[in-house]
């Protein structure tokens, strides 16, 4: 018949032998009611006591520390002739120090409370709480259902300093649901190791990414039916990088006073034209007149942006990009010629933005901001595996809650 141990602590197959209380600590000695073979469930067994175990249970009332003491046995079965360690049903694994109910309560509270606050409240080590959540996340994300995934976004994020495999992570997400499918160490093809097995069940139709050759080559090889879409955000970002490179090159030819003036106005060139204040526009016009290369590159940057604003379909986009590249190649600015070559080489993926109804990787880029929030909340992560598991969980987390 179920006892209070079952209703309050989820303990069954054991009965209370004795209980002692001292200084807010309750110790309850448990004894197994019946022993069976863990494999064939036979009652014809011989026991050998191994050692006593101490498992913490849920706090009860004002008693913060409830400990269950029981003797662990080795079981020899006369039916199947096997030796094994008895199974204890109220703990999650043989070396667990907390009961299942206690771990479940910690996981429920973890959605609302930080690890440190939980550890302080229950008088536990920070590491203990983290490991409980880590085991739960490992089990939860051991397999990911990708059977309905049709479009994914791929992007990399810088997470710290050091070698490439530690400073970057590559994230693959379902563009429709926002679920994280793969988190790889580093960037490039090596970071996609393990993604193939996760995506093998899906019928991939579209992959949105930046203009890195490595990702597009990998997906073209393994998913030839999927259309590569180069995200418009990264096209403009690459153009801004070219513009900034021209600015730095022009500065190198100036005296110190002119360099200081131009350096302080860097933000004007990188801002969109409609976001620049009127007084700054006058400064920009003067700078463009004095520094022709810089002025030409800025105008080409704005012309590239206008293609995404004005063009209605892939056919018009193809014509507009070809015209932009032709004009860029006629200039004397090497950065514009390089940008034109990049656009020509990836034109099909760039114009696919219109083919697939303005398909964009913007949500994945925005997701990177959530990852940075995760890092700030935790003041960094020493356990990379735990950090990656938290990224898998991130679409479910409300960013207003603290870690």
Instruction: Clarify whether residues 84 and 12 are in a common domain.
Output: yes
Q: How far apart are CA 91 and CA 55, in angstroms?
A: 8
Find residue 67's DSSP bridge partners: 27, 56
At what angle are helices 100-110 and 126-140 packed, to 10 degrees?
90
User: What does the pLDDT read at residue 56?
Assistant: 95
Tokens of 194: 């393990």
Distance CA 334, CA 249 (A): 11
Token pair belonging to 285: 């016009």
Mark whether 345 and 299 lie in a shared domain: yes
**237 and 342 assigned to the same domain:** yes
Quick check: is 184 in a domain? yes
Q: Helix/strand/coil (H, E, C) string of 309-377? A: HHCCCHHHHHHHHHHHHHHHHCCCCHHHHHHHHHHHHCHHHHHHHHHCCCCCCHHHHHHHHHHHHHHHH
145 within a domain of the structure (yes/no): no
For the entire predicted model, the pTM comes to 0.81
Examine the domain organization and report whether 225 and 374 are in the same domain: yes
Domain match, 165 and 305 both: no
How much of the chain is in helix, strand and coil states, percent to nearest 5?
50, 20, 30
Q: What is the DSSP letter of 33?
A: S
Dihedral sign for Cα atoms in the order 254, 259, 263, 269 = negative
To 10 degrees, what angle do helices 334-345 and 232-251 make?
160
Confidence at residue 1, expressed as pLDDT on a 0 to 100 scale: 41
Same domain? 187 vs 249: no
Q: How far is CA 6 from CA 55, 58, 395, in A?
A: 15, 12, 35
Residues 117 and 157 in one domain: no
Pairing of strands 14-22, 206-209: unpaired
Q: Which domain holds residue 195?
A: 151-231+360-396
What is the C-alpha to C-alpha distance for residues 384 and 159, in angstroms, rounded to an integer? 11
- Give the position of tokens 């190791």: 193
Q: What is the pLDDT along the chain (403 residues), one digit of tens a residue?
A: 457 888 889 998 899 999 998 878 899 999 998 898 988 989 999 999 999 999 999 998 888 899 999 999 999 999 999 999 999 999 999 899 999 999 999 999 998 888 999 999 999 999 999 999 999 999 999 999 999 999 999 988 888 765 545 688 999 999 999 999 999 998 888 899 889 999 988 889 999 988 877 888 899 999 999 999 998 888 998 998 998 888 888 777 766 766 666 665 666 666 666 666 666 666 666 666 667 788 888 889 989 999 999 999 999 999 999 999 999 999 989 999 999 999 999 999 999 999 888 888 878 777 888 888 888 876 667 888 999 999 999 988 765 544 4
Do 9 and 85 lie in one domain? The reply is yes
Residues 308 and 321 reside in one and the same domain: yes
pLDDT at residue 402, rounded to an integer: 45
In terms of domains, do 219 and 367 share one? yes
Q: What is the total count of domains within the chain?
A: 4
What pLDDT score does 288 carry?
60
pLDDT value for 150: 92
- The end-to-end CA distance of the chain, in Å, is 41
């Amino acid at each position: 018949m179920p006892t209070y141990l079952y209703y309050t602590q989820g303990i069954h197959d054991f009965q209370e032998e004795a209980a002692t209380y001292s200084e807010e600590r309750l110790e309850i000695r448990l004894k197994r009611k019946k022993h069976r073979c863990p494999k064939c469930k036979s009652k014809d067994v011989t026991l050998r006591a191994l050692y006593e175990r101490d498992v913490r249970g849920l706090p009860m009332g004002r008693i913060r520390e409830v400990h269950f003491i029981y003797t662990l046995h080795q079981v020899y079965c006369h039916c199947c002739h096997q030796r094994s360690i008895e199974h204890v049903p109220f703990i999650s694994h043989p070396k667990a120090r907390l009961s299942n109910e206690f771990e479940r309560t910690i996981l429920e509270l973890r959605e609302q409370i930080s690890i440190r606050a939980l550890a302080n409240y229950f008088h536990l080590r920070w590491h203990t709480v983290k490991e409980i959540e880590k085991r739960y996340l490992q089990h939860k994300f051991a397999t990911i259902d990708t059977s309905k995934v049709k479009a994914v976004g791929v992007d990399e994020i810088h997470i710290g300093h050091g070698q490439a495999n530690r400073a970057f992570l590559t994230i693959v997400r379902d563009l429709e649901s926002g679920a994280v499918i793969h988190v790889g160490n580093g960037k490039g093809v090596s970071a996609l190791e393990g993604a193939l097995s996760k995506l093998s069940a899906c019928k991939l139709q579209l992959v949105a990414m930046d203009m890195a050759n490595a990702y597009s080559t990998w997906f073209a090889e393994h998913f030839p039916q999927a259309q590569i879409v180069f995200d418009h955000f990264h096209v403009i970002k690459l153009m801004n990088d070219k513009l900034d490179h021209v600015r730095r090159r022009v500065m190198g030819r100036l005296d110190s006073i002119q360099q200081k003036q131009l350096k302080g106005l860097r933000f004007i060139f990188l801002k969109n034209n409609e976001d620049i204040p009127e007084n700054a526009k006058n400064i920009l016009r003067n700078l463009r007149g004095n520094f022709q290369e810089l002025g030409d590159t800025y105008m080409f940057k704005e012309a590239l942006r206008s293609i995404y604003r004005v063009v209605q379909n892939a056919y018009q986009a193809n014509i507009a990009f070809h015209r932009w590249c032709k004009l860029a190649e006629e200039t004397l600015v090497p950065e514009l010629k390089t940008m034109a070559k990049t656009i020509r080489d990836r034109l099909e993926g760039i114009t696919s933005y219109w083919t697939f109804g303005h398909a964009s990787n913007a949500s994945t880029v925005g997701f990177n901001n959530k990852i940075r929030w995760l890092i700030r909340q935790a003041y960094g992560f020493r356990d990379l595996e735990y950090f990656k598991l938290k990224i898998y969980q991130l679409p479910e987390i409300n960013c207003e809650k603290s870690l």
